[in-house]
Structure 1
Amino acid sequence: MLASPSKCPVHAYGPGGVARLYGPTAEDDPMGLYEQLRDRHGAVAPVLLHGDLPAWLVLGYRENLDVTRTPSRFSRDSRNWRDLREGKVPPDHPLTPITMWQPICAFADGSVHERWRGAINDSLGRFDRRGVRRHITRFADQLVDGFCAQGTAELVNDFAEHLPMLVMTQLLGMPEDYGPRLVKAARDMIRGTETAVASNEYVQETLRKLVVRKRSDPGPDFTSWLLEHPSQLSDDEVQQHLRLVLIAAFETTANLIANTVRMLLTDPRCRANLAGGHMTLPDAVEQVLWDEPPFTAILGRWATQDTELAGQQIKAGDVLVLGLAAANVDTAIRPDPTAPVHGNRSHLAFSGGAHECPGQDIGRAIADTGIEALLNRLPDVRLAVAEDELTWISSLMSRHLVALPVQFTPQEPNPVVQPETSPQAGPAHGSPEPHLPAADHPAANDSSPHLGSGTRTSWWRSLTRWLRRR
């Protein structure tokens, strides 16, 4: 569960005493900085981005919802950014890969957004969720096979970062061997490093080649379904939306897996609640989405007019950063941020409003199904170092574990089986996928131990066996 936020005495401040959201001081303890800013400024605080570009950090839960639900005041179109129009954000700026306007739904509002977002929603909806979970289990088992005989592993590098990319490359119709390089490039461009622009170019070129190939040789995959959608997206529009889905799914799900496994290994209350039947594995995933959302903040929204937000005077062209992690511990909606939250999905881990993450249920499925497979294979897995030895790396948008070393009784790898030839187990390409009953959907029945890829009995026995060995 969430620990009390720290109160660092000093953080880096720039011109005019405005806090910087970048640099080692801010990134070492983002939650401590958020609470300092909340104490000083309330629900909305002035901050500085890379290069000391001015911005507003939205810390309040209700204020975040206000921003995400009123596109007439706070647009997703980065071309509204005053500093960008004035040439203060050069092409090689660290934030360029995530702020430069692109023909994708994440940078559009109104009817244009509806056209692009509709194509994504319809194409994601064609996947058979049971088939997706079978692929998640297969890839998770493959990763565990790579280290299970050793008795030790490092689960961030060996598991959490690779599983989402393996699954997503399969769903997009890409060869599995694309995964490792895409993991490195995706993580780099999200961090806003000096090589972020080059990493973005690699991802773009990889996806451009995929679109060309799927245009001439379509299959039962997300890329082909976007290309054939009635909204008639151009090749460039398809490429940019593939990048959006791939990067968002990778970053959020990798962090979610690592944070959930860490909580299972280190939090006695969590283990007690699981053992007593008061919490299921999907509940644990949801708790992490409250306490440690995969994206701590999202850049951004741009003010379309002079307006007021929580007493701050926002000018047209100002940029706003959604403080998702800060909003989730806002005492206005969560009086005791250290208390567990069960059966409640009103967190902002996936943002809100019209731009709420469209693939969140697939992300949840990758996390809970992948962790289930891990615990099934390694029933006595345990942390190999003291909890206070774990370290994190933070950036403007995310905070993730550097490593999660574990020990376990060595296990034999699974026998080699032939992989399925399709990323879904529904009807053949060309016909819509059936809508699953609510009980089979990964977003449904999260209060039950049933996880879709196995039975309640097998999951519960494996979890109980793991808990008994703690």
Structure 2
Amino acid sequence: MNSLPGPPPQCPAHGGAPFPLYGPEAEADPLGLYELAREAHGPVAPVLLPDGLPAWLVLGYRENVEVARNATRFSRDPRRWRDLIEGRVREDHPLSPMTTWWPVVNFNDGEFHKRLSDAVKDSLRRFERLGIRRYVTRCANQLIDRFDDGRADLVADFARQLPILVVGHLVGVDEAHGPQLARAVPDMLQGTETSLDSDRFVTTVLQELVAERKVTPRHDLTTWLLEHPSQLTDEEVFSHARVTLVAACATTATLIANTLRMVLTDERFRAHLSGGQMTLPEAVEQMLWDQPPLNTIIGRWATETTELGGHTIQAGDMLLLGLAAANRDPAVRPADDDLSTPIHQNRAHLAFSAGAHECPGQDIGRAIAQTGIDTLLARLSGLELAVPAEELRPRGTLMSQDLPSLPVTFRPAQADDAPAEVRRAPATVNPRTPGS
């Protein structure tokens, strides 16, 4: 057994030291780094975060499920982090946005988590799936109409914008804010010079929305959170509206971009899709296996000294759920697995984690991705990459691998080629009626 900060098993690539999850090597090929860590340490590996802070990266599928489903041993509350308690985490640490406690479902356990989770899940279930898909189609067509003549960047012009437009509408944001919201939400997550202004804009819009819905209820997520029997505070309603928007940006946009890249670059993928051997929903599910939107989830914190994957985890240690590594665990997925296997037909992957903190909005995310891609492929004939495939280099981070751009060409067509009844889909997403 090994425990931090004691010596880990020898690592041939790093002289026996824990694997750093930051820097050029980690950013260039995070998935390759995970496999080196698995080879050196097994299903759980000692790693280093920025500022040399120690953590454990959970690589094994079984171990990820064990951690995700056992809140008694592995808490979601970052206030248990020993390095934070003992003052080793600076206020402006790069992981602070993911490790600063908020009154939201993903930072709490037990009864407090259940109260928040019930409100979020019940409210999300009220959306009617057909209404969501019609609104996705409408937004997708509006974005496609703005493409330059025969050229577009499917990341900047489509994948990053569509989820925010749709989820912003579901949350209850006025459509007039849609375009600016679609720019502001990604910007506030990228650490640019304008990130702070973008954050202020999003905060102001959502705070005003909560105040307005207290006076004028509507058929939207914010209203239903305010009205839920769990009696969420205004701060809790605002926080969950914000988390919902950020989650849509961080995950659904990446899923759309990755799936479109595979459609355009992978001949096996395109052949299966066009040959009828794989439906678009199955193609999206395959991407959730191969390249989940999040490489890792930060984090869990051990509540007591415990054992996991052949290592001793001390109380207060941070653990990172390695979703991408778990999906590639040889114990559940043979090394020679490819698109000829039926893996895309099941949802046993961990792209949305597992247990009590499994993503409650995953079906909405799937609907946005599937409907958006379907609309795009139907509208754009002769769709091809505008650059060599090898130039499409993902931008790696600790949490994800994002495609910066996806430039394409297509045969220009008139904007009104899409059926009028589809293009003018109603601007409301109706709640489910009882029993639906």
> Letter of the aligned partner of 2:398 in structure 1?
L
* Paired residues for 1:316-327 under 5 Å: 316-327=315-326
Structure 2 residue matching 1:165: 3-state secondary structure: helix
Distance change in 2, residues 1:134/1:248 (3 Å):
same
Partner of 1:58: 58
Change (3 A) 1:421 1:257: closer
Residue identity opposite 1:102 in structure 2: W
Q: Distance in 2 between matches of 1:251 and 1:121?
A: 20
Which stretch shows the higher mean deviation, 300-309 or 105-114? 105-114
- Cα contact 1:192–1:395 (8 A) shared by 2: no
Unaligned runs of 5+ in 1: 1-8, 427-431, 437-470
Q: Distance in 2 between matches of 1:433 and 1:24?
A: 52
Counterpart mapping for 1:253-268 below 5 A: 253-268=252-267
Task: Identify which range, 327-336 or 338-347, moves more after superposition.
Answer: 338-347
Partner of 1:109: 109
Amino acid at match of 2:426: E
Cα offsets for 1:75-103 (capped at 9, x unmatched): 00111011111222233222111111111
Aligned residue for 1:322, secondary structure, equals: strand
Q: Residue in 1 aligned with 2:120? A: 120
Residues in 1 aligned to 2:200 and 2:50: alpha-carbon distance in whole angstroms: 21
2:272 equivalent in structure 1: 273
Q: Does residue 290 of structure 2 align to residue 291 of structure 1?
A: yes
Per-residue CA deviation, residues 127-146 of structure 1 (Å, 9 max, x unaligned), is 11111110000000000000
Q: Per-residue CA shift, 1:365-404, capped at 9, x if unaligned?
A: 0001001100111132111111101121121111111111
Deviations 1:194-248 (A, max 9, x none): 9877755553343222211221222111111101111110000111111221111
The answer as to 2:104 corresponding to 1:93 is no
Structure 1 residue 227 corresponds to structure 2 residue 249: no
Alpha-carbon distance in 1 for matches of 2:79, 2:129: 37
- Aligned to 2:312, the other structure's residue is in SS state strand
* 1:304-351 CA-partner distances (Å, limit 9, x unpaired): 000111111111001101110011000010013542323111000001
C-alpha offsets along residues 242-287 of structure 1, whole Å, 9 cap, x if unaligned? 1221111221100010111111111111122123321100010000
Q: How does 1:350-389 map to 2 (within 5 A)?
A: 350-389=352-391
Structure 2: 5+ residue stretches without partners: 1-10
**Alignment correspondent of 2:18:** 18
Q: In 2, are the aligned partners of 1:94 and 1:194 still within 8 Å (CA)?
A: no
CA distance in 1 between partners of 2:12 and 2:145 (Å)? 46
Q: CA RMSD in A?
A: 2.3
Stretch moving more, 335-344 or 411-420:
411-420
Aligned to 1:380, what secondary structure does the other structure show?
coil
How has the CA–CA distance of structure 1 residues 10 and 137 changed in structure 2, closer, same or farther, with 3 Å as cutoff? Answer: farther
Relative to 1, partners in 2 of residues 1:350 and 1:392: Cα closer, same or farther, differing over 3 Å?
A: same
1:425 equivalent to 2:430? Answer yes
SS at match of 1:246: helix
Shift of 1:414: 2.5
In structure 2, distance between residues paired with 1:110 and 1:260: 36
- Residue pair 1:18, 1:47 contacting (<8 A) in 2 also: yes
Per the TM alignment, residue 433 of structure 1 is displaced from its structure 2 partner at its CA by 3.1
Moved >4 Å (runs of 4+): 188-202, 415-419
Residue 248 of structure 2: aligned partner: 249
Structure 2 residue aligned with 1:403: 405
* Structure-2 separation of matches of 1:204 and 1:350: 26
Q: Which residue of 2 aligns with 1:447?
A: none
Q: Does 1:79 align with 2:79?
A: yes
CA distance in 2, matches of 1:247, 1:365: 17
Residue type matched to 2:75 in 1? Answer: S
Letter in 2 for 1:104: V
- Give 3-state SS (helix, strand or coil) of 1:375's partner: helix
Distance in 2 (CA, whole Å) between partners of 1:49 and 1:197 is 24
1:390 aligned residue (389, 392, 399): 392
Q: Using the alignment, how far apart are the partners of 1:370 and 1:79 within structure 2? A: 39
Q: Retained in 2: the 8 A contact 1:21–1:49?
A: yes
**Closer, same or farther: CA 35–393 of 1 in aligned 2, 3 Å:** same
Residues 182-261 of structure 1 mapped to structure 2, 5 A cutoff: 182-188=181-187, 190=189, 200=199, 202-261=201-260
- SS of 2:230's equivalent in the other structure is coil
1:31-87 Cα deviation digits (max 9, x unpaired): 111111111111111111122111110011100000001110000011101111122
The one-letter amino acid paired with 1:259 is N
Instruction: Name the amino acid aligned to 1:357.
Output: C
Structure-2 change in CA distance of 1:169 and 1:187 (3 Å): same
The count of corresponding residues between Structure 1 and Structure 2 is 419
In 2, Cα distance between the equivalents of 1:264 and 1:435?
Answer: 38
Partners of 2:199 and 2:306 in 1: CA distance: 34
> Identity over aligned residues, as a percent?
55
What is the deviation of 1:425?
3.2
One-letter amino acid of the counterpart of residue 420, structure 1: P
- Change in Cα spacing, 1:308 to 1:354, as seen in structure 2 (3 Å) is same
Q: Secondary structure at the match of 1:342?
A: helix
**1:48 is aligned to 2:34:** no
Question: TM-score, normalising length from structure 2?
Answer: 0.91
Q: Which residue of 2 aligns with 1:6?
A: none
Letter in 1 for 2:49: L
